[in-house]
Amino acid sequence: MEIEKSKEKECLVCRKTSNGMHFGAISCRACAAFFRRATVLNIQYECKKGDMDCNIEGRGRFVCRYCRFLKCQQIGMKPDKVQLDYDPTYSIKGLLNDDSGSEGSRTNSPSCSKSEEESEDSEDQKYKTKINPDFLFNFSPKPSNKPMAKIDFSDLSQKIEYLFDCKTEETEKDDLEILTNSISDIPKNPQIQEIHQMEIFDIIHLLKNETIWKWAKWMNSSQLLKTIEKQQKMQLFRNSWNILHIFERLYMTSKNSSELLTSNGILISDELLWICGKSYYNISSISEITNQYFSTLFNPYLQRFIDLIGKQLYKMQLTNHELTFCLIQLLGYDTTDLTQNTIEIIENLKHQIADQMHNYYSNYSDLTNYSYRLIKLINIVKSMKKISIEKNKVKELFYIFDIFHADISDPYFFDIF
């Protein structure tokens, strides 16, 4: 019983779910791995703000490593309890295989038959990403004298906050129609260019000036989401924009042609085609890991997105209204730092959109039995969430082990994979 109670407690560092005692204090595996690494390597961090009082709960633990390490010490973690010959891959394996943290991030969806669920799981199992922790962190440490790159999203954050503050006129249109009209359609005769290599700061420029801002405007067009308090709305946006973007890109690729998908391609913009296994980011300016190494980690997830999501979208040939329905189901899939009130508003929006979809099918489509189609859409959404949750565990390790040699103002916006 005592063991079960300890597992239910929060990590005293970041407030996420703990899995027991580490180095003398109750914490999650991620914070334990962070403390061990800082202790063994004797890393000397500096406080981001300089006042040694940064918020390190939830997302904040990526912001200031000094204050995170200080909190580890304050709750009772002892350096002398860290075994210098301890195999760090144990905690890595646990973090990669532990699904407890992802369960709370999943939203309820209409039920489907047991055979459909088994078929879905069987199909996904073929693409199950196997990660060898020994390979994952088998790289040379970055040199201490290498200057830190600056990746600053603060101007974009301020612009989005200003957008979320602005009051817009009420409209009689329902959210399904408003949000659908806010999604760009396929451009006519796009000149598609296949990418071989893309510099990391080119993709950051694309994110800052096109991608992230586009999704901020889309989310802000919802009448119901406007009722969310600004900081909560900002957190909801940080948690959701990337999965929305990837799903929409898969949709746009499926609407363009099947040849793009069969070539393992995805349109990362209306004119730029990324080929899984061939295209890659050049991250040499911000990390000591090789471009091939980086691609090896994340290409399996991209391949699953293409095979399990993109190709299904091509078979179903979604309308823009159906795309909007799926995007709303993905909204808030990660509930990190969201209040119960915010979560309830999101759920209310999902119910409203579902009701409006019934009206859409009844009045604007030829389908007589559309329930089965809705269930298939929900199953695609479930697969999208599942792959994203697994991918995010690897992304989290990048911050735990300080892979990027860069000062990133908002890690949520630095979502390049």
DSSP output for 45-107: ---SSSSS----SGGGGGT-HHHHHHHHHHTT--GGGS-TT--THHHHHHHHH--HHHHTTPP
User: Does residue 355 surpass a pLDDT of 50?
Assistant: yes
pLDDT score of 185: 63
Percent of the chain with pLDDT over 70: 78
CA distance 201 to 281: 10
pLDDT score of 18: 78
Tokens, residue 376: 């298939």
pLDDT score of 171: 64
User: Does residue 349 surpass a pLDDT of 90?
Assistant: yes
Q: Tens digit of pLDDT for each residue in 28-47?
A: 877 887 888 778 767 788 88
User: Does residue 111 surpass a pLDDT of 50?
Assistant: no
User: Does residue 142 surpass a pLDDT of 80?
Assistant: no
User: Does residue 229 surpass a pLDDT of 50?
Assistant: yes
Residue from 64, 40, 41 nearest 51 by CA: 64
pLDDT score of 322: 94
Q: Tens digit of pLDDT for each residue in 357-395?
A: 888 888 888 877 788 888 899 999 999 999 999 888 888
pLDDT score of 384: 95
Domains and CATH numbers, the chain: 2-86 (3.30.50.10), 116-408 (1.10.565.10)
Per 3-state DSSP, the chain is made up of helix, strand and coil in percentages (nearest 5) of 55, 5, 40
Q: Tell me the Cα Rg of the chain.
A: 22
pLDDT score of 122: 53
Under 8 Å between Cβ of 256 and 238: no
Under 8 Å between Cβ of 271 and 193: yes
Residue from 137, 64, 413 nearest 287 by CA: 137
User: Does residue 112 surpass a pLDDT of 60?
Assistant: no
pLDDT score of 90: 38
Q: Tens digit of pLDDT for each residue in 80-91?
A: 877 643 433 334
